[in-house]
Amino acid sequence: MVLETSQSLQERARDFAREHFAPHAARWDKECLFPREALRAAGRLGFCGLTLDPSWGGLGLSLLEAGQVFEELAAGCTSTTAYLSIHNMVSGLVLRFGQPALKEAWGRRLATGQALTSYCLTESGSGSDLASLRTSARHGPAGWVLNGSKAFVSGAGETDLLLVLARSGGDGADGLSAFAVPADSPGIDLGPALDKLGWHSHPTRSLKFENVIVPFENLLGTEGDGFRIAMQGLDRERLNIASCSLGAAQSALQATRAYMQQREQFRKPLASFQGLQFKLADMATELVAARQMVQLAARKLDGAQADAPMFSAMAKQLATDTGFRVCNEALQIHGGNGYLRDLPLERHLRDTRAHQILAGTNEIMRVVVARRVLDPACPEYCLDGDLNEDQRAFQSAAREFARSELAPLAASWDEQHFFPREVIGRAAQMGFCGLYAAEEHGGLGLSRLDATILFEELAAACPSTTAYITIHNMVTWMVTQWARTEVASDWGRRLAAGEVLGSYCLTEPDAGSDAASLQTTARRDGPDYLLNGSKAFVSGAGASDALVVMARSGGEGPKGISAFLVPADTPGLIFGRNEEKLGWRSQPTRGITFENVRIPADHLLGEEGEGFRIAMKGLDGGRLNIGTCSVGAARAALEAARRYMHERSQFQRPLADFQALQFKVADMATQLATARQLIRAAASRLDQGSSQATAYCAMAKLTATDLGFQICNQALQIHGGYGYMREYPLERYLRDARVHQILEGTNEIMRVIISRQLLEKSNEEIR
């Protein structure tokens, strides 16, 4: 049985979870019941063999699709789904590495849930250090003879087939082999069911093996393959467990959203308190970011990419930490009610806590990531996501331009407050000043996703200059998209070619985040408009040639705002002083005063009253652009820290040998990959015209700029006193990245946008 689409697959899994899991989950948990009948029902739908070939009765799904099923099922019962994910992993290993007789005997039974499995890996003396396990397997006259013990075996006592890792050779990983052991084999002694914090719907026991005879044909792979088989299984199980965390967290988020709308305190619904709105926005954003990373890792494993194990570790750590944190925050919002077993919050919390330990603790995930990131042989761009051939060509061109034209001079531009107009002109020759402007007006007509790839490369060399180039691109797009045909043909072509440069005039001294309250006026005067008022914090002002100005042409509120193209040499424009700023010193920032500035009526963009809508559409893309600049700065900072940790020694050891710093760089790498992936996911939704594009862009901007600044700050810390010196670029990255948390809507406003989507559109999930 093969399900037609991912959407129908998720719907079937969701319906199954609501009917077979959710109504019984609390009782299973309370009574510690193993729901074999529910698991058999799952098997009849193929959920016990999600990735197994249909010839065995499986669904033949990708890991990406399987993860989506696990997330839906886990929202109904996290504990039972976690066991189901283990069974899927073990079944996959048996059918991938088993000999024909073994597969014939067990394959269909495993795929359809008629037989269930357990994974016997951990021992009391070897947890994360699998290569040190001591359970032995020796040749006997009738088969392999197993002796030893295993700890923390999920499902033990209820399952039919055990996958056991045992030592058949010498010390170390090469001496391990994997065996499929029928659970009713003589010599297997079951320990008592362990009393656990959560995961109550399946038993966990220790197993003792005393001269257990295993048929020779039950060896998986060949002798000595055990560690490799175990690692392949763990890469997959890490994603499965991560998906279970996402499902629990999604359930907790949905319960919290409903509770905030129903519950009142101080005669107001909880949903009206901004502190709780912000908390809900952070929960949703972290959940979406974690889901994107899990899906990226799944695609890499599906494609057998070399960096898939690292991404699997990143995704497991991020999703399980996020899942537990979201469940904990959900419980907190529910107050005392969340602490009671009447609601599922405390169960979600207990169940997800185990996920940070299983399939390798999250500390081991950091070891896996750090080992890859700090490997001198690892490519500099090992943290990149999935790109097609064209995107890699764009990326390479932008990288070379950044290295030759931006990086060598970025520090001097910063020190001298120099605006590199000539270099921006050369960027325009590469097409970088009209990336997503229409080709008919001289632009490249790229997608927003493609643009983020290019901007990241430029920002890794000079975040400040790149940030201005992104603003210019937004202006170019607005003019080519909304200007009258003649104006677009003239100004659009010149903006895309870099012959003229643009600035964006939205913010005013008394209208920052509340853009709809702006007071600059545009009054119709015959064939012209007269503009009066002032704008603040205009990037490029005084050096640019064209201004896109938002002004009030009608009544109060957003519908009274219109957008105009204003040549920067128009009489009546008064430019203020170049502001002294913390960062962004390679571009000027000024206020502008408009005193009876007369512009032709055909310089109106769109129609009267459309200005606010145009501004908001521009800001969706602008948020992606500025978030991408943070990703670029953060990547450069991480790469600098990576190099420094190999070059610098203290206490007669390279910094790269200290585990505390390894963990720090692993977290930085995971944060960078997360920020990049969420930016690209939001860009794809913007390209597709998704109804969730605005919320996604806000989430991406919030995540990328917060994490980007954190990464720059941590990289500076790793450099110690040197990081604080201008001789190194770290302090410049830090200064430049800090403003990204303010621009294009502060990160507090991003939380307002996200929470509004969650609370005002209660029937729509952000996924």
Catalytic residues: 744
CA terminus-to-terminus distance, the chain? 27
Sign for the CA dihedral angle at 663, 668, 670, 671 comes to positive
Q: In degrees rounded to 5, what are phi and psi of residue 469? A: -60, -35
Return the residue matching tokens 């970011």: 289
Written as one string, the DSSP assignment of 30-87 is HHT---HHHHHHHHHTTTTSTTS-GGGT-----HHHHHHHHHHHHHH-HHHHHHHHHH
Residue 89 per-residue DSSP state: H
For strands 161-167 and 117-120, give the pairing: parallel
Q: In degrees rounded to 5, what are phi and psi of residue 486? A: -65, -40
Question: CA Rg, the chain, in Å?
Answer: 29
Euclidean distance between CA atoms 567 and 544, whole angstroms? 9
Residue 328 · residue 335 · CB < 8 Å:
no
Which residue(s) pair with 350 in the sheet? none
Euclidean distance between CA atoms 275 and 551, whole angstroms? 32
Euclidean distance between CA atoms 475 and 433, whole angstroms? 10
Q: In degrees rounded to 5, what are phi and psi of residue 121? A: -120, -60
Could you give the C-alpha distances from 622 to 414, 469, 714, in angstroms and in order?
23, 11, 26
Q: Which of 635, 194, 625, 688 is nearest to 399 (CA)?
A: 635
Residue 188 · residue 208 · CB < 8 Å:
yes
φ/ψ region of 760 (left if φ > 0, alpha if ψ in -120 to 50, else beta) reads: alpha
The three-class DSSP label of residue 17 is helix
Residue 289 · residue 705 · CB < 8 Å:
no
Tokens coding 255: 């319960």
Residue 508 per-residue DSSP state: B
Which residue(s) pair with 234 in the sheet? none
**In sequence order, what are the residues at sequence separation of 6 or more whose Cβ sits closer than 8 angstroms to the Cβ of residue 195?**
none
Residue 418 per-residue DSSP state: -
